[in-house]
Amino acid sequence: MIKQLVMATNNANKLREAREILAPLGIEVLSQREAGANCDPEENGATFAENALIKAKAVYEAVKLPTIADDSGLCVDAMDGGPGVYSARYAPEGQHCVKLLEEMKNVPDGKRGAAFECTIAYIDESGSHTMTGECRGAIGHEQRGTNGFGYDPVFMVGERTMAELTADEKNAISHRGAALRELYKYLKERFGE
């Protein structure tokens, strides 16, 4: 089993989720800052997979350690899958939920379906591999909860928003959690116990 891998991010929430899910494998997950990678490649891919690979390759080239990167976003049915790969750039920082709720204000409950989607790219000296995860839900009518980030306060799973779930509840159903569990299986199969 590999001992360390680098996650092409400095986002504390993403790192925590990856560390929690990969912990049973005994793999130390380093942020790109901790690994000494100071790069911020332009994410100009047309898909989550392309963007994840762009980030993973850039960090891998800088540190030459097994690297993972994710790209994820919110795909809203009533917006033809948007904002999708543009989720992070959809609105100014802190305004994503406000803008989305405004755009969705006249959309009836039955048409508010959405999915969080995530693709994780893994790269090492032998090549790259991608895995995906999805969490279906709906867009609520107001922001609720304090445990999430990004679009979590408006993304309904059942009667609660993602931001109203505990970390364990969210990890069990989240798109990134699903993709990380696929990564866990891939690493376990590839490198054994």
User: In this structure, what CATH number is given to the domain that contains residue 92?
Assistant: 3.90.950.10
The domain in which residue 70 lies consists of: 4-191
| Active site (catalytic) residues | 71
Taking the C-alpha atoms of residue 170 and residue 76, their distance in angstroms, rounded to an integer, is 19
Give pLDDT tens digits for 130-181: 999 999 999 999 999 998 788 999 999 999 999 999 988 987 899 999 999 9
What does the alpha-carbon distance between residue 3 and residue 49 come to, in Å, rounded to a whole number? 25
Q: Per the confidence metrics, is the pTM higher than 0.95?
A: no
Helix (H) or strand (E) holding 73: strand 67-76
Per the structure, the count of domains in the chain is 1
Residues 49, 121 contacting (CB under 8 angstroms): yes
* Beta strands in the chain, from DSSP E residues, in sequence order: 4-7, 28-31, 67-76, 82-83, 113-124, 127-139, 155-157, 160-161
Name which of 158, 171, 153 is nearest 23 in CA terms: 171
